[in-house]
């Protein structure tokens, strides 16, 4: 059965500053758990109750954070793109943060299985004085079954704008064999990858927090930081396995919370 599912969420502040879901609409395979207000951020868990993504699936995720609202959206488990003997699956994502709003989006990893053809396009629009921490994580495959970089095609597209100005555009479009060769060349076979966007102008380039971020590099873990032309930063992280990447991202979040108080929200409440 092919799914043509969607999830549309809009978070807005109530009188007194509490954030609520002012709009929500979803259709299988998307579902959301009961939102939780932790006193500073509204936490929402996005659930896929099906086994995963199959050939022919067409998915759409749209999240908007209104001015003055704070939203944290996560998933409880990895997103699995299963084997596709023919055809492909597609997911289109859009995230909009209005002025004075905050969004944290950090789902569990995407895990592409052998023979899958998965295409994901993401557009992030941040209005001036809006802020976001957005993380995308990629597993090499089912490494426990000796399936590493065995997908047929993986296409991940990302476009980011700040205050109406494009600040980042990138594409990963490759077969698994290409990724495996690149990883072997760089001495990182079977590596887990993460991209983190810090979209906020409250952190200055000379802020000591960036030294703390760069200090996470080492011991088999790779961390690099690049300043965007405007509005924020992009952080690349590579680790030899899933647990080490999870630990690295937890440390990164803790370091960045020094400057971004919304990152102090306790993820165990989800």
Nearest CA-CA partner of 270 in 21, 34, 22 = 34
**Residue 270 confidence (pLDDT):** 43
Q: Is 146 exposed, middle or buried (0-12, 13-18, 19+ CB in 10 A)?
A: exposed
> Are 262 and 41 contacting, i.e. CB atoms less than 8 angstroms apart?
yes
Q: What are phi and psi of 143, to 5 degrees?
A: -65, -25
CA-angle at 236, arms to 11 and 213, nearest 5°: 85
Helix, strand or coil, per DSSP, at residue 81:
strand
Q: Is 30 exposed, middle or buried (0-12, 13-18, 19+ CB in 10 A)?
A: buried
Query: Which residue has 């983190």 as its token pair?
Result: 196
d(CA 175, CA 96): 31
Query: Which residue has 């896929």 as its token pair?
Result: 48
**Residue 192 confidence (pLDDT):** 97
Helix, strand or coil, per DSSP, at residue 166:
strand
In Å, how far from its chain's centre is CA 186? Answer: 24
d(CA 170, CA 186): 20
How much is the pTM? 0.94
SS3 content of the chain, % helix, strand, coil (to 5): 15, 45, 40
DSSP H stretches of helix in the chain: 176-185, 209-214, 242-256
Written as tens digits, the pLDDT of the chain (270 aa) is 566 889 999 999 998 889 999 999 988 888 898 899 999 999 999 987 667 899 999 999 999 999 999 999 999 889 999 999 999 999 999 999 999 999 999 999 999 999 999 999 999 999 999 999 999 999 999 988 888 999 999 999 999 999 999 999 999 999 999 999 998 988 888 899 999 999 999 999 999 999 999 999 999 999 999 999 999 999 999 999 999 999 999 999 999 999 999 999 988 644
Residue length, the chain?
Answer: 270
Nearest CA-CA partner of 245 in 152, 140, 145, 146 = 140
Please list, residue by residue across 221-259, b when 16 or more beta carbons sit within 10 angstroms of its beta carbon and e when fewer do: bbbeeeeeeebbbbbebbbbebebbbebbebbbebbeeb
d(CA 103, CA 7): 16
């Amino acid at each position: 059965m092919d799914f043509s599912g969607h999830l549309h969420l809009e978070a807005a502040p109530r009188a007194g500053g509490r954030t609520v879901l002012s709009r929500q609409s979803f259709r299988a395979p998307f579902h959301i758990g009961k939102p939780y207000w932790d006193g500073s951020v509204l936490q929402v868990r996005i659930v896929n109750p099906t086994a995963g993504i199959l050939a022919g699936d067409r998915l759409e995720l749209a999240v908007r954070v209104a001015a003055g609202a704070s939203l944290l959206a996560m998933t409880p488990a990895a997103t699995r793109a299963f084997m596709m003997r023919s055809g492909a699956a597609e997911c289109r994502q859009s995230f909009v943060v209005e002025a004075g709003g905050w969004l944290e989006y950090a789902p569990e990893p995407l895990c592409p299985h052998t023979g899958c053809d998965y295409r994901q396009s993401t557009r992030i629009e941040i209005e001036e004085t809006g802020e976001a921490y957005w993380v995308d994580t990629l597993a090499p495959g089912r490494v426990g079954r000796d399936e590493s970089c065995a997908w047929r095609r993986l296409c991940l597209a990302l476009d980011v704008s700040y205050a109406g100005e494009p600040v980042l555009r990138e594409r990963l479009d490759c077969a698994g064999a290409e990724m495996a060769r690149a990883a072997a060349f760089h001495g990182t076979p079977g590596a887990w990858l993460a991209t983190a966007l810090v979209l906020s102008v409250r952190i200055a380039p000379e802020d000591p927090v960036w030294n703390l971020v760069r200090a996470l590099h080492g011991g088999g873990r790779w961390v690099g930081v690049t300043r965007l032309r405007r509005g924020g930063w992009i952080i690349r992280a590579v680790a030899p396995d899933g647990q080490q990447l999870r630990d690295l991202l937890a440390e990164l979040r803790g370091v960045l919370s020094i400057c971004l108080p919304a990152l102090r929200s306790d993820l165990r409440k989800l």
